[in-house]
Structure 1
Amino acid sequence: MPISPSGRIADKTLSIGLTGGIGSGKTTVANLLAALGASVIDTDLIAHSLTAPGGAAIPAIRHAFGAEFINADGSMDRQKMRTHVFTDQTAKQLLESILHPQIRQACEDAAQTAQGKYIVFVVPLLIESGTWLQRINRVLVIDCDEETQITRVMQRNQFSREQVCSIMRAQVTREIRLQHADDVINSAQELAQVKQQVELLHQKYLQMCAQA
């Protein structure tokens, strides 16, 4: 599945960029789409593998930031790095310069062997990245009200309300995200209703694939 000069997947495979704010329910929807037969490529999972013990990005991170950012097991100290880059824009850009090319290559490698009718790239910062919009066919936004996001993340990650709000402030606003959306799933509903939305969207994507 080669990549075209424009950066998009060059064959007729439909490529979806799935995004949403923290706590919006991206993983839930991605798992539902995968169960229906979509090929799901999650950039967060790729980033975690790159920074796990023996990960491909560890040598460059150690060189750029120092051994104090590497745990005893050889993985990146994510909490320490998160705190560091959140307060230092230069450090954030440096980390991105290490991870983003490797994530992009891993996504392209995974796309080459994808077996699903269409591909879903899960990209939390899809709108913010400035490059993903040119590489996909459609943007799927997983949306819910901000209070629901805050409650979910506080329960899931044991973060304080201010910690969650600070992360949300670093992301694009809900309004901007929705402006870029081709498709929207409201994840604030009951799971059964979310599943129904996902199934309808899956059928829509299959029809688009058949018409390509």
Structure 2
Amino acid sequence: MSYVVALTGGVAAGKTAVERGFEALGVRAYDADVAARAVVEPGSEALAEVARVFGADALDAEGRLDRAAMRQRVFADPSARTTLEGILHPRIRTWLRDAVAADRGPYCMLSIPLLVENHAHYAWVDRILVVDAPEAVRIARLMKRDGVDEALARQMIAAQATREARLAIADDVIVNDGGVEALAGQIERLHARYLELSRQNS
């Protein structure tokens, strides 16, 4: 198994840009969002269980998970959210663990948006990298990216774990408050460090 770096960051901190930066250096990144879609493909156990628990209207006309409908349900009903996460999250973790087990690079990354909230389940990763940006920068990015007003941007940030909670679990931090060049330099330095750590670990 490769050396594993878990990558996380708050909404609009720039986690995707960092993930792409490492991928450009040849590092594989396995994304929890990709895993979440993979585990509910038609014919999967997870999709069958969702339909059994939530009813046929959890599926769209083609028999796929109706994401928009389920999103509305879980936002309206916290117990429904807990139930859905109970079905999906263990399978997402297994998918990610299997992907890492098959990876043959010196190290790989796991991209997990809600790592703070699920930290205990990822005790097996070797290192945690947090992408951080000041709240004002993230609000401005959200307003531009999603076309939302400042109040909604603040709500989106408040719905996640706090910046302090993320930094508390970090082994490494990338501060993404500047341009592309500044970000690339931080990624290259950490890439060299992770190659060295993976050598020491093997």
CA deviation vs aligned residue, 1:108-134 (integer Å, no higher than 9, x gap): 211122122112111111111142441
TM-score by structure 2 length? 0.89
Alignment match, 1:9: none
Please say if 1:120 is aligned against 2:109: yes
CA deviation vs aligned residue, 1:57-88 (integer Å, no higher than 9, x gap): 32221122122232223332223322322232
> Unpaired segments of 5 or more residues in structure 2?
none
Alignment match, 2:169: 180
How many pairs align? 201
Name the CA distance, whole Å, in 1 between partners of 2:111 and 2:130. Answer: 10
Question: How far does residue 53 in structure 1 lie from its aligned partner after superposition?
Answer: 5.0
Read off the aligned partner of 1:198 and give its amino acid letter. Answer: I
> Unpaired segments of 5 or more residues in structure 1?
2-12
What SS class does the counterpart of residue 18 from structure 1 fall into? strand
Alignment match, 1:72: 61
CA deviation vs aligned residue, 1:4-30 (integer Å, no higher than 9, x gap): xxxxxxxxx321110011111111111
Read off the aligned partner of 1:142 and give its amino acid letter. Answer: V
Name the CA distance, whole Å, in 2 between partners of 1:94 and 1:45. Answer: 20
TM-score by structure 1 length? 0.85
What SS class does the counterpart of residue 126 from structure 1 fall into? coil
Name the CA distance, whole Å, in 1 between partners of 2:60 and 2:100. Answer: 31
Question: How far does residue 42 in structure 1 lie from its aligned partner after superposition?
Answer: 0.6
CA RMSD after TM alignment:
2.0
Read off the aligned partner of 1:99 and give its amino acid letter. Answer: L
Q: Percent identity?
A: 37
Please say if 1:14 is aligned against 2:3: yes
Please say if 1:102 is aligned against 2:68: no
Contact 1:127 1:133 in 2 (8 A): no
CA deviation vs aligned residue, 1:154-181 (integer Å, no higher than 9, x gap): 3333445444333322211011111211
Read off the aligned partner of 1:154 and give its amino acid letter. Answer: M
